[in-house]
Copies of this chain bind each other. A is one copy, B any other.
Amino acid sequence: MDQIEIFKALSNKTRLQILTWLKEPEKHFPDHKISCDHNNLGVCVGHIQQKAGLTQSTISEYLSLLQRAGLVTATRMGQWTYYKRNEAAFEALSNLIASEI
């Protein structure tokens, strides 16, 4: 758990938005059931990219950055990569700020 990597990952408006969108995927990605997300794997890159309005390469990089920071997990299924929040990481970060930092 690299604190600085986490805080850097959170220091960007688009990435923060993505994380809050992933809190309620069914709300923010209403068409996810009929396309990417079969189970509870998360949301695929393309949907996130469309909603964010930045290029595919940028969003792909942002998502892998969030993954390296441990804030999301990625699952590859066929041609899609599904990203979902790692709630444990947020809980740990909250506790870290409340007690360590």
Contacts and interface: CB of A to CB of B under 8 A. Distances in A.
User: Would you call the interface of chain A mostly helix, strand, loop, or mixed?
Assistant: helix
A21 to B, nearest CB: 11
Contacts of A58: none
Interface string A3-44: 110011011110010011000000000000000000000000
B16 A101 contact: yes
Q: How many copies does the complex hold?
A: 2
A80 interface: no
Given A3-B10, A4-B13, A94-B94, 18 more contacts: A3-B16, A4-B11, A4-B12, A4-B16, A7-B7, A7-B10, A7-B11, A10-B101, A11-B11, A19-B101, A20-B101, A90-B97, A90-B98, A90-B101, A91-B98, A94-B95, A94-B97, A97-B97
